[in-house]
């Protein structure tokens, strides 16, 4: 029962049980042959356990790939996996990874609460951290004004921005009343606020007739749906994810919320896309798949390989968290290798950080880049759904692709100010 | 009007499920004086097991329409872990309540991982099975037939429980044991057996509740800890140990939640806690409980 | 004898930073924080006989107190933060206590649980005020007027802050020691042992319970403030009922019948959890299993176990 | 000179049922008044009223001239009346000395001292030893109460009531559970102790008519919620009608909640 981690490690590193800690600073000559140790902080239990599961698959795929093709600058990769829980305990695990296991890099983290707490701690410990997710805008700017060691994922609001843009592009003039049902945490709050801010920016007259904030993990949404139905909105914007989304879909369908021509925008639908069965999910909705759309016809060979590998392992199709995890690993690999090449020898941590700034990589979902201000830029996929496919769940009929430079704030900007002033082409 | 009915039906549906879990809590507390924090874990177990059972049957060619009885049977079957857990509780019957509470808290911790070990971290669902029974449409009002069936099942179980406790010999023994354990012992009642059966029955109410609700919802790992709080609100409002209290409390919580969501959604859970505290201030024993101390 | 043992333990804790790796020293910090919170909790549980299943409420108030004061109001003095957070905690405890001390046993447990969850709901729902799920950041405070700006956070935590917390634990443990041996403490135990008899002996039972509840809230908030500084963040999980459950777990692990039981419990729990989490992803299961063993076989916890072994040792060696 | 404890036309109804009806009673300093009567006659109700535990539905209950209706046990102790119960009430985990100290301290101004060790308080300790000596418990001061014999527990229960230094003490069947051989010794002990401790009057509820006859200065007989007789022992026992009513057969009425 307790051997899962070990098994995974063996599968990944091929080195079996971790050797005693080898700090890279003390013995550079020896270190050249020792595997690189990468700490992973991923949720395993509770609501977010499902994110961690998918992300870990991305990491595993990346590490298999790396280790079978010569490692990172010649060194194989070995993982130390720890659980992300609440901020208090996760910081303890981070300290363990950094101080005790002496890992070279920490990747993971999906919760904004944890990443907000972790940023300053990582900076203080000079720990190189590349986060998968968990970068909701609130609090980010005061917590980490000048990041040196912490690398963030793309802003969590990107998908809301893109979904809002698509809604405006496709349905402008077709809706006057809007309603929101979004998860009750910073992610949901900001998504709905971003949607409204963009409607204002493009001068779309609208009234919010209902806004619902079910707690994440609410399994009975009948009353929420009843409230939405009573408000008779022309458009419903919902960044629900996890199991909440299929539950909402099924409940809304059962109550007839989808019978009256109401439009639906689900920026985070790609997280539970395979659970949204056709029978209760009509076509013609806006679905966001974030940075990985598994069925993208023009997707890279790498993506197709991964999707197949994932499907064989789980009998399911992956969501974007796998891509985020892969991206984090790819950025670190690219940084190390660039620094290694530049230095002509094994690079120090500061060299790696320098090389990671501005590095471009090919992730599972598509091209991406790590900005100089330590915020990731990736490719986003959204579109309007269709039932015309071989699956029992809807996929995208038309796929819109946007690069994050269109979807997130520039260096040093405030997200909300950026929305007002940004020059985005619809 | 339609909107109002929607809210009421939504609230009653929520109440129906809460009632089953709360009734389990009440039964166990009433007879054994143990507050079971793990009631939410049983609920989740019922939900997960229900999904597995239905999927297993469907894969073997069962017509989808039979899924409701399968769920009920699955709930009852998995409720059979009751006696084993009761055997564990047996060690602390004579101890301070703190230990009983802690023991069930330990079960909460263990079940989180047991569920994850068997079913993984991804939420489990039954797809669109719930729509097998279609919808009931009256004017603009639309309700999935299954939701009404769950309400009906809960009412039947409530009535059955009531009749069982009032009319049958075993029910009378239960009530007598609840009143006075020593007296029952003196009258030759096999208290060991009574406790084991009551705890199993309480467990089954939870597991059947979880199995019944899962087609409309999903089984997820945080189900147990979230539900406990609501179930506690129900029993405190209704009065600890009272079956009538479980019914009234479930309706109060279900309808209150539905109303709060419709009119001022920020108040959802807050409103429930405020009512709990209000009840405790004004009627310390709850609506149907006895005054304490 | 006990005091000598306590002094030895204190000295041992004081030299830990020289012996342990920095990581393990940072692990001792939450243990110190929980020790303080649990000393207060055990005044209520062990001495007064009231089991609160919502005590995380006060730990959370301490945490959020530190967060709001340091990052929203710009207050940096840790002494002031502790005083104000603990004061706020007592201010919250009094009205809750007035209601809750009318009950005992399971009803007291459920009522306190309800209040804890009420606060959790508040933290979660009132997003603009409390930061919702992400909570509020806690900035590094100054200790006795010194900011130690030259130290990075880990060095600060395992250095000045560590000794500060050790001193705080020593002072608060001493105060608690005096409390439980005072007439006040005697009355608390009397109310636990036989409420009716105590009343006929002129003990104002509810009043004394209320004071015990308030004192435990005070200690809880101090522990919470230390925890939050250590984490650098106060988040709603601090108030969640399972965190309250952990507090009870720790107390029983250490043994609530012994004055130092909670301290033993806090240290062993943190150590145990760290080991289990490192060993298996199914650490919750094993933690629960250990709790069951404890409840069934060693209800007096580790301190009770040592006492028993000590007694057996003495009996078997002829003097 | 007003009476120490006084009931003026008190009645207590539970719904339709009158547990007590128009009872008047005055207890002076120096008296030992026994309250007797068959089960369900209203003795317990009367005692509860006299000790301010429950308020009467009509009439007045006074202690030292002040109304004490429903003041509750804590205030009762403060005003100077103590009560010991039929069933033993002790603090199992506390030692004899600690048990007595609870009472001693609660009546001093020291109850809310948080930082002084109660074990080191010389004044408290000497009073504790004094009370313990009266009841022959001085050898058991360090013994946890739960380890005492049944008789010792009973003594401790009564002793702790004495430790309050009350003016009036109410003893509810103090000899119940004590072997008949020890009953007289215990009773004598208690009455002597009361005199030495400065207790001004004793109210006794007792079934054993030998004890009642021997120690009472006055006997109040209750039947069906009313006073049947209020006489000196000699007169009381010389009236066969009363004796038959009290000692004889149980009355047919068996009201709920009155006993």
Pairing relationship of beta strands D58-63 and C233-234 according to DSSP bridges: unpaired
Cβ of A2 within 8 Å of Cβ of C281? The answer is: yes
Distance from CA of A309 to the nearest CA of B (A): 18
Compute the distance between CA of residue B188 and CA of residue B191 in angstroms, rounded to an integer.
Answer: 8
Give the least confident one: A64-78, A132-146, B9-23, D219-233.
A132-146
C218 touches chain B (CB under 8 A): no
CB contact (8 A) between residue C277 and residue A136 = no
Q: pLDDT tens across C239-278, in order?
A: 999 999 999 999 999 999 899 999 999 999 999 999 999 8
CB contact under 8 A, C194 and D90: yes
Minimum Cα–Cα distance from C116: chain B residue: B273
Question: Over 70: is that where the pLDDT of A3 sits?
Answer: no
Segment C159-187 mean pLDDT: 94
Check residues C42 and D259 and name the one with the higher pLDDT: C42
| Residue whose structure tokens are 């909402």 | A248
- Given this model, what pLDDT does residue A27 score? 40
pLDDT band at A259 (very low <50, low <70, confident <90, very high): confident
- For residue C277, list chain A residues with Cβ-Cβ distance below 8 A: 82-83, 89, 93
Look up the CATH number of the domain holding residue D16: 3.40.50.300
pLDDT of residue A141: 58
Q: Please tell me the distance from the alpha carbon of residue B137 to that of residue B84, in angstroms, as a whole number.
A: 45
| Banded pLDDT at A25 (limits 50, 70, 90) | very low
Please answer whether residues A106 and A128 qualify as being in contact, where contact means their C-beta atoms are separated by less than 8 angstroms.
Answer: yes
- State whether residue B218 sits within 8 Å of chain A by CB: yes
Most confident of C27-41, D149-163, D166-180: C27-41
Q: With contacts defined as CB-CB under 8 Å, which chain C residues touch A184?
A: 124-125, 127, 132-133
- Subunits next to B (3 or more Cβ pairs <8 Å) are A, C
pLDDT of residue A138: 66
Compute the C-alpha angle C162/C166/C172, nearest 5°.
140
Q: Is A232 on the interface with B (CB under 8 A)?
A: no
* Residue corresponding to tokens 């590095």: A359
B216-240 residue pLDDT tens: 999 988 888 888 888 989 998 998 8
In Å, how far is C135's CA from the nearest CA of chain A? Answer: 7
Q: Give the gap in angstroms from C-alpha C188 to the nearest C-alpha of chain A.
A: 34
Q: pLDDT-derived band of residue C9, with 50, 70 and 90 as boundaries?
A: confident
If one compares A3 and A143, the residue with the highest pLDDT of the two is: A143
Judged by average pLDDT, the poorest of A3-17, C104-118, D52-66 is A3-17
Whether the Cβ atoms of residue A365 and residue A320 lie closer than 8 Å to each other? yes
Asked if residue D245 has pLDDT above 80, the reply is no
Q: Give how far A106 is from chain B: nearest CA, Å.
A: 22
For C75-95, write each residue's pLDDT tens digit: 999 999 999 999 999 999 999
Cα–Cα distance for residue pair C112/C52, rounded to 1 Å? 6
Confidence of residue A23 (pLDDT cuts 50, 70, 90): very low
Residue A22 pLDDT grade (very low, low, confident, very high; cuts 50, 70, 90): very low
Chain A residues close to C135, C-beta within 8 Å: 87, 113, 116-117
Contact A190, C134 (CB under 8 A): no
What value does the mean pLDDT of chain D take? 83
Interface of C with B in 288-317 (CB under 8 A): 288-289, 291-292, 295-296, 299
- The C-alpha atoms of residue A186 and residue C127 are separated, in whole angstroms, by 8
Q: What percent of chain D has pLDDT over 90?
A: 12
**Interval A184-213: pLDDT, tens:** 888 899 999 999 999 999 999 999 999 999
CA distance linking residue C212 with residue C51, whole number of Å? 12
pLDDT tier, A143 (very low <50, low <70, confident <90, very high otherwise): low
Number of structural domains in chain D: 1
User: Can you tell me the mean pLDDT for C210-223?
Assistant: 97
- Where residue C214 falls among pLDDT bands split at 50, 70, 90? very high
**Percent of chain D surpassing pLDDT 70:** 94
One DSSP character per residue, B89-155 reads: HGGGTTS-HHHHHHHHHHHHHHHHHHHHHHH-SS-B--TTGGGGG-EEEETTEEEEHHHHHHHHHHH
More confident call, B153 vs D13:
B153
Nearest Cα to Cα of residue A201 among A407, A422, A411: A422
The pair of structure tokens assigned to B48 is: 């997960």
Q: Rounded CA gap, B222 and A48, in Å?
A: 9
Residues of A in contact with B142 (CB under 8 A): 254-256, 259
Residue with tokens 């049983």: B42
Is the pLDDT assigned to residue A26 strictly greater than 80? no
Do residues A271 and A213 touch, judged by C-beta distance below 8 A? no
Q: All domains of chain A, ordered by start, with CATH? A: 4-154+299-377 (3.40.50.2300), 158-290+379-421 (3.40.50.2300)
Q: Which is nearest to B283 in space by CA: B255, B251, B242, B228?
A: B242
Question: Model-level pTM?
Answer: 0.90
D112 contacts chain C (CB < 8 A):
yes
Q: Give the Cα separation of D176 and D180 in Å (integer).
A: 9
A144 CB within 8 Å of a chain C CB: no
Average pLDDT score over residue span A322-347: 95
For C125, phi and psi rounded to 5 degrees?
A: -80, -35
* Per-residue tokens: D7: 């009931």
Is C153 touching A (CB cutoff 8 A)? yes
- Calculate how close chain C gets to D73, using CA atoms only, in Å: 5
Q: Does any domain span residue D133? A: yes
pLDDT surpassing 60 at residue D230: yes
Best B218, B229, B263 member to test A by mutation, with max A CBs in 10 Å, is: B218
pLDDT at residue C124, rounded to an integer: 85
Ranges of each domain in chain B: 26-222
Amino acid A16: pLDDT: 32
Whether residue A145 is predicted with pLDDT greater than 70 in this model: the reply is no
- Please indicate, yes or no, if residue D259 is contained in any of the structural domains: no
- When pLDDT is averaged across residues D90-111 and rounded to a whole number, the result is 88
What burial class does residue B71 get, using C-beta atoms within 10 Å of its C-beta: 0-12 exposed, 13-18 middle, 19+ buried? buried
Which pLDDT score is estimated for A10?
40
Enumerate the residues of chain D whose CB falls inside 8 A of the CB of residue C189.
Answer: 91, 93-94, 98
Backbone angles phi, psi at A118, to 5 degrees: -80, -35
- Residue B229's pLDDT is what? 86
- Confidence grade of residue A32 (pLDDT, cut at 50, 70, 90): low
pLDDT tens profile B10-35: 999 999 999 999 999 999 988 888 88
State which residues form the domain around D68. Answer: 5-247
Confidence (pLDDT) at D248: 61
Predicted confidence band of residue A2 (pLDDT cuts 50, 70, 90): very low
Residues of B in contact with A277 (CB under 8 A): 127-128
d(CA B262, CA B125): 26
* Percent of chain B residues topping a pLDDT of 90: 51
Query: In the structure, what pLDDT confidence band is assigned to residue C165 with cuts at 50, 70 and 90?
Result: very high
Output the pLDDT for position B140.
79
Q: Do B229 and C241 touch (CB under 8 A)?
A: yes
Interatomic CA distance for residues A181 and A163, integer angstroms: 15
- Spell out the domain ranges in chain C: 26-247
Task: Give the residue among A417, A322, A416, A297 at the shortest CA–CA distance from A378.
Answer: A322
Contacts of C137 in chain A (CB under 8 A): 116-117, 120, 139, 142-143
Provide the pLDDT confidence category of residue A139 given band limits of 50, 70 and 90: low
Quick check: A7 pLDDT over 80?
A: no
D110 touches chain C (CB under 8 A): yes
Among the partner residues C183, C194, C202, nearest to D91 by beta-carbon distance:
C194
**C window 223-282, beta carbon within 8 A of A:** 227, 230-233, 235, 237-238, 274, 277-282
Which is nearest to A420 in space by CA: A194, A232, A95, A228? A194
On whether any CB of chain A is under 8 Å from the CB of C182, the answer is no
Terminal-residue alpha carbon distance, chain A: 52
Lowest mean pLDDT among A331-335, B112-116, D192-196: D192-196
Contacts of D192 by beta carbon, 8 Å cutoff, 6+ apart: none
Shortest Cα distance, chain C CAs vs residue B90, angstroms:
10
Residues B73-99 pLDDT 10s: 999 999 999 999 999 998 888 888 888
Would you tell me how many other CB atoms lie within 10 Å of the CB of residue B220?
A: 28
Cα gap B41→B104, rounded to integer Å: 10
Q: Which of residues 341-400 of A touch B (CB under 8 A)?
A: 392
pLDDT at B131: 85
pLDDT at A37: 95
Confidence of residue A5 (pLDDT cuts 50, 70, 90): very low
The band of A21, judged by pLDDT with boundaries at 50, 70 and 90, is: very low
> With an 8 Å Cβ cutoff, is C171 touching chain D?
no
Query: pLDDT-derived band of residue C317, with 50, 70 and 90 as boundaries?
Result: low
Within 13 Å, how many C-alpha atoms sit on residue B250's CB side?
29
Q: Across the interface, do C183 and D83 touch by the CB < 8 Å criterion?
A: no
DSSP per-residue codes, chain C = -HHHHHHHHHHHHHHHHHHS-HHHHHHHHHHHHHHHHHHHHHIIIIIT----S-THHHHHHHHHHHHIIIIIS---BHHHHHHHHHHHHHHHHHHHHHHHTT--HHHHHHHHHHHHHHHHHHHHH-HHHH-GGG-EE-PPPBBTTB--TTS-HHHHIIIIIHHHHHHHHHHHHHHHHHHHHSHHHHHHHHHHH-HHHHHHTT--HHHHHHHHHHHHHHHHHHHHHHHHHHHTEE-GGGGSHHHHHHHHHHHHHH-TTSTTHHHHHHHHHHHHHHHHHHH-TTHHHHHHHHHHHHHHH-TTHHHHHHHHHHHHHHHHS--
């Amino acid at each position: 029962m307790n051997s899962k981690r070990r098994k995974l490690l063996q599968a990944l590193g091929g080195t079996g049980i971790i050797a005693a800690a080898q700090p890279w600073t003390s013995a550079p000559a020896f270190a050249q042959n020792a595997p690189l140790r990468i700490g992973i902080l991923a949720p395993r239990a509770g609501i977010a356990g499902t994110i961690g599961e998918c992300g870990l698959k991305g990491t595993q795929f990346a590490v298999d790939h790396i280790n079978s093709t010569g490692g990172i600058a010649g060194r194989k990769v070995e993982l130390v996996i720890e659980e992300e829980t609440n901020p208090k305990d996760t910081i303890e695990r981070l300290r363990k990874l950094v101080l005790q296991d002496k890992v070279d890099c920490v990747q993971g983290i999906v919760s904004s609460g944890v990443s907000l707490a972790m940023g300053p701690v990582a900076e203080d410990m000079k720990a190189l951290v590349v986060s998968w997710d968990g970068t909701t805008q609130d609090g980010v700017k005061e917590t980490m004004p000048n990041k040196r060691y912490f690398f963030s994922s793309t802003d969590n609001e990107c998908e809301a921005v893109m979904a809002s843009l698509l809604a405006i592009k496709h349905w402008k003039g077709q809706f006057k009343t809007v309603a929101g049902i979004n998860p009750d945490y910073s992610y949901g709050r900001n998504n709905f606020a971003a949607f409204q801010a963009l409607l204002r920016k493009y001068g779309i007259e609208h009234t919010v007739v209902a806004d619902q904030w079910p707690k994440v993990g609410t399994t009975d949404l009948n009353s929420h749906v009843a409230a939405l139905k009573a408000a008779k909105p022309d458009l419903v914007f919902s960044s629900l994810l996890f199991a909440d989304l299929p539950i909402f879909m099924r409940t809304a369908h059962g109550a007839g919320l989808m019978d009256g021509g109401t439009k639906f925008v689900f920026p985070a639908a790609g997280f539970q896309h395979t659970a949204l069965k056709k029978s209760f999910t009509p076509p013609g909705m806006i679905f966001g798949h974030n940075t990985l759309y598994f069925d993208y016809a023009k997707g890279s060979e790498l993506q197709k390989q991964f999707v197949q590998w994932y499907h064989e392992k789980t009998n399911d199709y992956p969501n974007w968290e796998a891509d985020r995890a892969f991206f984090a690993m790819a950025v670190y690999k690219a940084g190390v290798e660039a620094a290694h090449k530049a230095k002509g020898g094994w690079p120090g941590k500061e060299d790696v950080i320098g090389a990671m700034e501005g590095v471009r990589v090919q992730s599972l979902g598509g091209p991406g880049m790590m900005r100089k201000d330590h915020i990731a830029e990736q490719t986003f996929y959204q579109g309007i759904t269709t039932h015309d496919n071989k699956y029992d769940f809807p996929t995208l009929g038309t796929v819109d692709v946007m690069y994050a430079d269109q979807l997130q704030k520039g260096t040093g900007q405030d997200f909300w100010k950026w929305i007002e002033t940004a020059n985005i082409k619809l | 009007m339609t909107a109002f009915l929607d809210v009421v039906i939504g609230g009653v549906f929520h109440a129906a499920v809460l009632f089953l879990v709360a009734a389990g809590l009440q039964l166990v507390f009433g007879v054994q004086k143990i507050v079971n924090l793990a009631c939410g874990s049983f609920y989740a177990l019922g939900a997960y097991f229900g999904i597995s059972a239905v999927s297993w049957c469907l894969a073997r060619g069962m017509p989808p329409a039979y899924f409701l009885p399968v769920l009920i049977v699955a709930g009852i079957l998995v409720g059979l872990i009751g006696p084993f857990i009761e055997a564990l509780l047996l060690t602390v019957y004579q101890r301070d309540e703190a230990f009983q509470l802690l023991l069930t808290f330990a079960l909460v911790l263990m079940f989180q991982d047991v569920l994850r070990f068997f079913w993984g971290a991804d939420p489990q669902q039954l797809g669109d099975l719930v729509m097998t029974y279609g919808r009931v449409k009256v004017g603009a009002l639309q309700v999935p037939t299954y939701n009404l069936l769950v309400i009906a099942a809960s009412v039947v179980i409530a009535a059955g429980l009531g009749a069982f406790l009032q009319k049958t010999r075993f029910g009378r023994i239960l009530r007598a044991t609840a009143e006075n354990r020593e007296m029952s012992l003196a009258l030759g009642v096999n208290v060991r057996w009574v406790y084991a059966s009551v705890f199993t029955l309480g467990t089954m109410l939870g597991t059947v509740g979880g199995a019944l609700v899962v087609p409309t919802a999903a089984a997820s790992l945080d189900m147990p800890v979230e539900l406990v709080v609501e179930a506690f609100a129900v029993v405190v409002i209704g009065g600890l140990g009272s079956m009538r209290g479980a019914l009234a409390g479930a309706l109060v919580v279900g309808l209150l939640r539905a109303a709060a969501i419709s009119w001022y959604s920020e108040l959802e859970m807050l409103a429930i806690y405020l009512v709990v505290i209000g009840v405790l201030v004004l009627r310390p024993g709850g609506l149907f409980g006895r005054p304490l101390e | 004898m006990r005091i000598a043992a306590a002094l030895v333990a204190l000295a041992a804790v004081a030299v830990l930073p020289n012996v342990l790796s920095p990581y393990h020293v940072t692990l001792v910090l939450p243990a110190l924080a929980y020790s303080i919170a649990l000393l207060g909790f055990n005044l209520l549980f062990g001495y007064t006989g009231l089991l609160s299943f919502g005590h995380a409420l006060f730990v959370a108030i301490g945490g959020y107190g530190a967060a709001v004061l340091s990052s929203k109001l710009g207050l940096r003095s840790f002494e002031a933060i502790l005083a104000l957070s603990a004061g706020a905690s007592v201010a919250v405890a009094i009205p809750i206590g007035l209601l809750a001390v009318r009950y005992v046993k399971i009803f007291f447990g459920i009522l306190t649980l309800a209040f804890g969850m009420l606060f959790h709901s508040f933290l979660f729902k009132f997003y603009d005020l409390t930061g919702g799920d992400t909570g509020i950041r806690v900035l590094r405070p100054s200790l006795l007027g010194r900011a130690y700006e030259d130290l990075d956070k880990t060095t600060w935590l395992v250095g000045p802050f560590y000794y500060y917390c050790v001193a705080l634990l020593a002072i608060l443990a001493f105060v608690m020691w005096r409390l439980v041996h005072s007439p006040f403490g005697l009355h608390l135990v009397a109310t636990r042992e036989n409420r009716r008899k105590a009343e006929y002996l002129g003990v104002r039972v509810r009043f004394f319970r209320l004071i015990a509840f308030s004192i435990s809230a005070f200690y809880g908030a101090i522990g919470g403030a230390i925890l939050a500084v250590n984490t650098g963040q106060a988040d709603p999980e601090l108030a969640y009922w399972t965190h309250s459950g952990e507090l009870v777990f720790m107390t029983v692990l250490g043994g609530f019948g012994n004055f130092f039981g909670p301290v033993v419990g806090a240290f062993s729990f943190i150590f145990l959890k760290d080991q289990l989490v490192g060993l298996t992803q199914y650490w919750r299961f094993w933690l629960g299993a250990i709790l069951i063993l404890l409840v069934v076989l060693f209800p007096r916890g580790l301190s009770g176990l040592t006492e028993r072994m000590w007694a057996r040792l003495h009996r078997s060696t002829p003097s | 000179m007003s009476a120490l404890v006084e009931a003026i036309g008190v009645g207590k109804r539970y719904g339709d049922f009158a547990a007590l009806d128009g009872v008047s009673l005055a207890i002076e300093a120096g008296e030992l008044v026994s309250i007797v009567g068959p089960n369900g006659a209203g003795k317990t109700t009367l005692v509860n009223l006299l000790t301010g535990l429950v308020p009467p539905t009509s009439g007045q209950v006074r202690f030292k001239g002040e109304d004490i209706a429903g003041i509750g046990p804590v205030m009762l102790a403060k005003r100077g009346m103590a009560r010991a119960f039929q069933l033993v009430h002790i603090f199992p985990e506390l030692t004899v000395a600690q048990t007595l100290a609870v009472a001693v301290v609660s009546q001093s101004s020291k109850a809310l001292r948080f930082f002084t060790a109660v074990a080191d308080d010389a004044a408290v300790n000497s009073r504790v030893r004094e009370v313990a000596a009266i009841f022959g418990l001085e050898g058991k001061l360090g013994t946890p109460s739960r380890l005492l014999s049944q008789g010792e527990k009973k003594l401790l229960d009564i002793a702790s009531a004495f430790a309050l230094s009350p003016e009036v003490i109410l003893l509810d069947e103090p000899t119940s559970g004590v072997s008949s051989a020890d009953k007289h010794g215990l009773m004598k002990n208690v009455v002597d102790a009361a005199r030495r401790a400065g207790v001004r009057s004793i109210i006794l509820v007792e079934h054993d008519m030998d004890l009642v006859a021997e120690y009472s200065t006055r006997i109040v007989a209750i039947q069906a919620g009313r006073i049947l007789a209020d006489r000196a022992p000699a007169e009381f026992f010389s009236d066969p009608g009363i004796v038959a009513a009290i000692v004889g057969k149980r009355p047919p009425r068996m009201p709920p909640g009155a006993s």
